[in-house]
Amino acid sequence: MSNTPTKREELDKDAQKSGVDAALDAPTPKPDTMAEPAAIGRTPDEVRRGLRGYFVMAAIFTLVMNLLLLVSPLYMLQVYDRVMTSGSNETLIVVTAIAVFMLAIYAAADGGRRRVLANAGHFLGSSLDAMTLRLGLGISNEPPTRILENIGNLSRVQGFLINSTIAPLFDIPFAPLFLIVLFLVHPLLGALSLVGIIILLVLALITDKASRKTVEEASHRERSAQQLLAHTAQQRAAIVGMGMGDRIINRWQKKRHHALGESLRAVNTTAFLSATTRSIRQILQVLILGAGAFLALKQEVSPGAIVAGSIIMGRALAPIDQIVNIWRQVIQTRQSWRELNSYYKKHEGSLASLSPDMVTPMARPSPTIKLEEFAVAAPGASKPILPKLTFELPAGCFVALLGPSGSGKTSFMQSIAGAWTPADGTARLGGRDIHTWQADDRGKYVGYLPQHVELLTGTVFENIARFTDATPEEVFNAAKKVGCHEMINAFPEGYDTKIGEGGVHLSAGQRQAVGLARAVFGSPALMLLDEPTAHLDQAMSGLLLTYFAKIARTPIEQRDASWIVATHDIRIISAADKVMFIQAGKVMVMPREEYLRKVSDLNKNRAEQAGKNKAASADNKKSAQSSAQSSNVSNLLTVPIQRPPETKE
């Protein structure tokens, strides 16, 4: 067994590096280096431990900076107490040169701290971005908008570090250093500064208490307005086409104005307290100058101490003033980190199964499907949509999934595909539990066409290949299977045609055709197609039905995949081995021949009932109701009995 450390182990060791190593070894972020950490997942607690090295190094730079901030007051003391009294130009030149050199070091230390904090932000983002998105995609019982919220929370915390907004929090511990220096200059100056610091700290605490809830509520309402805006942009065509623009805009404006109102309340509170803090700081500057002049007149301090004391007190009060000014960002960042950490802790059990580097790839499974007490429920719902199902489909079986709109066909397909977590029970593909199977590994063996096909930004080739490094032959074969190869060749740039922003707009039928090719790409073991002919034209539908007919003529033991096709197209049933029918919360699975026999019986019953209705009196409501129910069911189930004709290859 190899002793070579895995990539995850190497990163875990990096997280424990010393401050200097972790902070300075990290390269400046570049666009082409962002993708590498995507396969590695960390938790916020692990990232926090990894950030310690960066924070230690930032603290060292902060110490150097704050010590060098004493250069200016010391320089003023030397100028006033030595140069002015001696009149020596040589002394002035030497003192000035030393001060300039020390301040140059200060500039380097300031730049070093900013770089360390920027690298800390890059480390935070690159460690959590992939897993945060992977959690959002992999946890089915969370609303889709939660993905945007989590990424937004991560971006806010990352920006707090990259932009060095956190810097005043590093400076605040050094305020006592300047206070000690003032006490050394004169106890009165130190006492006056101590009173000023206490006053500003009290104002900072008042700012926190007065604005925290308001800021958090404003953030919540802003997020709600952004979610509505995102939904509005997605439904732009329907909104414009049906003239709902003004009403939707009014709804969005109300949410946005509520959010702005809360933000304004928070800003008014923090702005008043911030202005008060700055005013008190200016008053303290005047008082320290007056106290210094008073002590100088009594000859208890030198004239240089007047200016030096003012500068030193300014440096002691500056971090507190800055923290009050950024307190709104501090609250928002703290809230974002807590929400992100809480989300990870909530789904802690899913982290291992969602990490690709933690999972051993499985061999291609046998295309057998087995449901064990399998109950389908919508994400977040407590009541199942469908009752518990227990049945097994043999390898290579072709199942037509039927039922009226809203019966639960799409919900069943999404659950079998692994996109939704079942309310209870398990669904197995080749003996492996679909919902505990790592998605990236499982996805190689599942072909899924959702009811509403959305293609990702990229080329047609990339979408069909599922963004893998597939060969052109593999992609072409997938397109040829479902009959869309010629359609794609007719695109402006063929398979290299770009989709998405700045690309070509595809019709619903074209998107569905490309989605079908994407589903069959790679020869999956399980094919799940939801209304595959809903948007196809007659020619494309014919090609797809020919493909289904070819599957039907292939002996079931020779097929390499099992098929479940949800459809209202009665022609597809002719290719099915079994029919699964969902209605009114009930599920029936039967051989196609048995299903067709029941359809025939229902048609006969309908005809007999229609004859009775003609002979019955007009007030026979019970008979009319029974006829309507029978007619409704038989209309849903009526299908042609013949299978597709044999055609020579």
Residue-wise DSSP of 547-559: HHHHHHHS-GGG-
What is d(CA 26, CA 30) in angstroms, rounded to the nearest whole number?
A: 11
* Side-chain-facing half-sphere of 500: CA atoms under 13 Å: 11
Residues 247 and 351 in one domain: no
Confirm whether 408 is domain-assigned.
Answer: yes
pLDDT over 70 percentage in the chain: 85
Tens-digit pLDDT profile for residues 379-392: 777 788 888 889 89
Q: At what angle do helices 327-346 and 145-162 cross, to 10 degrees?
A: 130
Residues 206 and 312 in one domain: yes
| Residue in 281, 277, 278 with CA at minimum distance from that of residue 192 | 281
Tell me the pLDDT band of 327, cut-offs 50, 70 and 90: confident
Residues 445 and 466 in one domain: yes
Confirm whether 628 is domain-assigned.
Answer: no
Judge whether 433 and 427 are in contact, CB under 8 Å: yes
Reply yes or no on whether the pLDDT at 568 is more than 50: yes
Last residue of a domain, one of 270, 303, 325: 325
| Residue in 442, 441, 455, 380 with CA at minimum distance from that of residue 411 | 380
Judge whether 639 and 593 are in contact, CB under 8 Å: no
- Phi and psi at residue 426, in whole multiples of 5°? -135, 155
What is d(CA 123, CA 15) in angstroms, rounded to the nearest whole number?
A: 10
Q: What are the structure tokens assigned to 77, written together?
A: 């003391």
Q: How many CB atoms lie within 10 A of CB 617?
A: 6
CATH number at residue 431: 3.40.50.300
**Which has the minimum average pLDDT: 128-132, 221-225, 568-572?**
221-225
Sequence-separated (6 or more) residues with CB below 8 Å from residue 242: none
Confirm whether 643 is domain-assigned.
Answer: no
β-pair type (432-433, 446-449): unpaired
Residues 202 and 158 in one domain: no
Confirm whether 363 is domain-assigned.
Answer: no
Judge whether 161 and 121 are in contact, CB under 8 Å: yes
Reply yes or no on whether the pLDDT at 184 is more than 60: yes
Last residue of a domain, one of 592, 618, 633: 592
- What range defines the domain where residue 305 resides? 173-325
The single residue listed with the structure tokens 């230690």 is 56
Tell me the pLDDT band of 318, cut-offs 50, 70 and 90: confident
Higher pLDDT, 404 or 81: 404
Tens-digit pLDDT profile for residues 413-433: 989 988 888 888 999 999 999
Confirm whether 1 is domain-assigned.
Answer: no
* DSSP-based three-state secondary structure for 371: strand
- Counting the structural domains of the chain, the total is 3
The pLDDT of residue 555: 93
The pLDDT of residue 356: 58
Over its C-alpha atoms, the chain yields an Rg (Å, rounded) of 35
Tell me the pLDDT band of 352, cut-offs 50, 70 and 90: low
Tell me the pLDDT band of 361, cut-offs 50, 70 and 90: confident
| Residue in 90, 79, 67 with CA at minimum distance from that of residue 302 | 79
What is d(CA 93, CA 88) in angstroms, rounded to the nearest whole number?
A: 9
Tens-digit pLDDT profile for residues 574-623: 889 999 999 888 888 999 888 888 888 888 888 777 777 776 655 555 54
Alpha helix (H) ranges present in 139-244? 145-162, 167-171, 175-185, 187-234, 236-241
Average pLDDT of the chain is 81
The pLDDT of residue 127: 87
* DSSP-based three-state secondary structure for 243: coil
- How large is the average pLDDT for residues 42-55? 87
The pLDDT of residue 83: 84
Reply yes or no on whether the pLDDT at 628 is more than 80: no
Residues 450 and 588 in one domain: yes
Judge whether 379 and 143 are in contact, CB under 8 Å: yes
Q: Give the dihedral sign, CA 256/258/262/264.
A: positive
Residues 277 and 195 in one domain: yes
> Which one of 323-327, 463-467, 642-646 scores highest in mean pLDDT?
463-467
Confirm whether 241 is domain-assigned.
Answer: yes
- Phi and psi at residue 591, in whole multiples of 5°? -60, 155
- CA dist 483 → 467, 538, 643 (Å): 21, 12, 21
Higher pLDDT, 265 or 169: 169
**Which has the minimum average pLDDT: 12-21, 73-82, 413-422, 558-567?**
12-21
What is d(CA 247, CA 89) in angstroms, rounded to the nearest whole number?
A: 77
Tens-digit pLDDT profile for residues 433-467: 998 888 888 889 999 999 888 888 899 999 999 99
Reply yes or no on whether the pLDDT at 290 is more than 70: yes
The pLDDT of residue 514: 94
Higher pLDDT, 24 or 576: 576
DSSP state of 299: T
Judge whether 46 and 15 are in contact, CB under 8 Å: yes
> Which one of 24-33, 144-153, 167-176, 241-250 scores highest in mean pLDDT?
167-176
β-pair type (424-429, 369-375): antiparallel
Q: Is 555 exposed, middle or buried (0-12, 13-18, 19+ CB in 10 A)?
A: exposed
Residues 186 and 156 in one domain: no
What is d(CA 271, CA 277) in angstroms, rounded to the nearest whole number?
A: 10
What is d(CA 573, CA 450) in angstroms, rounded to the nearest whole number?
A: 19
DSSP state of 490: T
Q: Give the dihedral sign, CA 547/549/552/553.
A: negative
Reply yes or no on whether the pLDDT at 519 is more than 90: yes
Reply yes or no on whether the pLDDT at 174 is more than 80: yes
CATH number at residue 192: 1.20.1560.10
Residue-wise DSSP of 395-449: TT-EEEEE--TTSSHHHHHHHHHTSS--SEEEEEETTEETTTS-HHHHGGGEEEE
Judge whether 568 and 530 are in contact, CB under 8 Å: no
Reply yes or no on whether the pLDDT at 404 is more than 80: yes
Residues 317 and 342 in one domain: no
**Which has the minimum average pLDDT: 56-70, 261-275, 357-371, 594-608?**
261-275
Confirm whether 645 is domain-assigned.
Answer: no
Confirm whether 117 is domain-assigned.
Answer: yes
Residues 63 and 138 in one domain: yes
Residues 567 and 459 in one domain: yes
* DSSP-based three-state secondary structure for 536: coil
Q: What are the structure tokens assigned to 332, written together?
A: 């928002």
Reply yes or no on whether the pLDDT at 486 is more than 90: yes
Residues 124 and 177 in one domain: no
Residues 77 and 133 in one domain: yes
